[in-house]
Amino acid sequence: MKICAVRGATTVDKNEKKDILSRTAALLKQMMDCNSLTLHDIISVIFTATKDIDAVYPAVAARELGMTGIPLMCCQEMDVTGSLPLCIRVLMHFQLTEVRAVQPVYLEKAVMLRPDLTGFAPGGDVNPDKKLTIAIDGPAGAGKSTIAKRLAEKLAILYLDTGAMYRAVGLKVMEAGGDPADPSDVIPLLDRTDVVVRYENGAQRVYLDGRDVTDKIRTQQISGAASAVAVIPEVRRKLVNLQREIASRTSLVMDGRDIGTYVLPDADVKIFLTASPEERARRRWEELRQKGMDQDYANVWKEITNRDHNDSNRSFAPLKKAKDAVWIDTTNKAIDEVITEIESLLQAQRG
């Protein structure tokens, strides 16, 4: 007999008993199926869960699958800042009569834990030889961030908000009393600027020089500052290098204004989202109202059109549709309609 071990992980949407047990059971079943294991082959199973999971022991799912005579243990996963939340990890020990390869299994958002092993494949199957990179470009208010977040969640891959990174740089310049449009005010700050995007408790947080600025960067003033600093080549080079590094390691959806043309020119799927200026201004106006910000629609429309002009006419990596990008007009379309349209593109690509 040969004693072996295999790893697996999954995530849950909520800290609820039903969700924990169903996701754990699905993970255990797939670990057994992928490795052709029976209950008699399993020696022991160790479960770890992040500290935000405490509604039920994951091992209960194993007992319900018939692992009544197998030693099981539940532990709390080490709490590391920025680690994947609501995550259950499994280490399964088993015996084999012959030597053969074993297959780790990573499901749901846990696919991000092992980008070297996982990727997007039909039906959520493990595909160790393929990463999926999706580039979504378009003007302000076209719905890029909303669509990208929802798509990434549905595909269980990473969403990287590039706009938040530029907003953070714009915030730093403004806090320093500088002009975001003046390179002489911006460039000297770059070497002392650290921007980090993390996912904590299922939500994206943006850190500037170690300080959480997630809420501070979501204002119209910072939006304009982001557009201004994004024109400066030195700023773009600094942030693009970081974005490319992340894309080289994991499957992701990235949205911005030059993702398909400059940041990820070899992305597997490129999409250009747009909508009429009136529609985009209306969306932004309603978003601001929901946040309690009383803005005049005419001013919002003017800011939208000004930003369109700045983004499309900047000399370095301007906003434009990549030649191989699919054009999608989101005017009068619901979010789910657009997601379905993109999923159809993915299905067509996979044949």
- Residue 9 has a pLDDT of 93
SS3 for 90? strand
| pLDDT score of 110 more than 50 | yes
| Residue entry with tokens 């499957």 | 251
**Which residue from 29, 31, 92 is spatially nearest to 66, judged by alpha carbons?**
29
Distance CA 199, CA 207 (A): 11
Do 166 and 239 contact (CB within 8 A), yes or no? yes
- The token pair at 181 is 């449009």
Asked if 273 and 150 count as a contact pair (C-beta separation under 8 A), the reply is no
Q: Grade residue 115 by pLDDT with cuts at 50, 70 and 90.
A: low
What is d(CA 167, CA 163) in angstroms, rounded to the nearest whole number?
A: 6
pLDDT at 171 exceeding the cut of 50: yes
**Helices assigned H by DSSP within the chain:** 17-34, 59-64, 144-155, 162-175, 183-190, 220-229, 233-249, 277-290, 297-313, 335-350
pLDDT over threshold 80, residue 247: yes
C-beta of residue 175 within 8 angstroms of C-beta of residue 192 = no
Q: What is the pLDDT of residue 202?
A: 60
pLDDT of residue 225: 94
Per-residue model confidence (pLDDT) at position 199: 66
What is the rounded average pLDDT of the residues 314-336?
Answer: 83
203 Cβ neighbours under 8 A, 6+ residues apart: none
pLDDT at residue 128 tops 50: no
Q: Which secondary-structure segment (H or E) carries 251?
A: none
CA 123, CA 342: separation in Å to the nearest integer? 16
280-290 burial by CB neighbour count: b if 16+ within 10 A, else e?
bbbbbbeebee
Q: In this predicted structure, which of 20-24, 55-59, 274-278, 316-320 has the lowest mean pLDDT? A: 316-320
pLDDT in tens, 88-107: 999 999 998 877 778 888 88
Structure-block tokens of residue 345 = 């593109």
pLDDT of 47-82, one tens digit each?
999 999 999 999 999 999 999 999 999 999 998 877
Of 214, 206, 198, residue with least CA distance to 158:
198
Among 119-123, 179-183, 297-301, 340-344, the range scoring the smallest mean pLDDT is 119-123
Which residue numbers are catalytic? Answer: 7, 63, 74, 77, 89, 106, 114
Q: What is the largest CA-CA distance in the chain?
A: 75
Q: Which helix (H) or strand (E) holds 9?
A: strand 2-11
Does residue 156 surpass a pLDDT of 80?
A: no
| Identity of the highest mean pLDDT range in 34-43, 120-129, 155-164 | 34-43
The per-residue pLDDT for 77 is 94
**Distance between CA 331 and CA 327 in Å, rounded?**
12
- Banded pLDDT at 114 (limits 50, 70, 90): low
Q: Report the mean per-residue pLDDT for the chain.
A: 85
- In order of their start, the domains of the chain are 2-112 (3.30.1330.40), 115-157+250-351 (3.40.50.300), 162-245 (3.40.50.300)
Which pLDDT belongs to residue 181?
95
- pLDDT: which is higher, 163 or 125: 163
- What pLDDT score does 118 carry? 43
How are beta strands 158-161 and 195-200 bridged, if at all?
unpaired
* H-helix segments, 35-69: 59-64
Mean pLDDT, residues 106-114: 75
β-pair partners for 291 = none
* Sign of the dihedral through C-alpha 317, 319, 321, 325: positive
Span 223-247, average pLDDT: 89
State the pLDDT at residue 260: 92
Over residues 3-32, mean pLDDT: 92
Provide φ and ψ at 299, rounded to 5°.
-70, -40
Measuring CA to CA, which residue among 137, 136, 161, 139 is closest to residue 278?
A: 139
The band of 129, judged by pLDDT with boundaries at 50, 70 and 90, is very low
pLDDT the model gives residue 119: 44
What the block records as the tokens of 20 is 């924990």
Percent of the chain's residues with pLDDT above 70: 90
Q: Read off φ and ψ for residue 119, nearest 5 degrees.
A: -170, 180
Residue 112, pLDDT score: 66
**Whether pLDDT at 127 is above 60:** no
Q: How far apart are CA 132 and CA 252, in angstroms?
A: 6
User: Is the pLDDT reported for residue 122 higher than 60?
Assistant: no
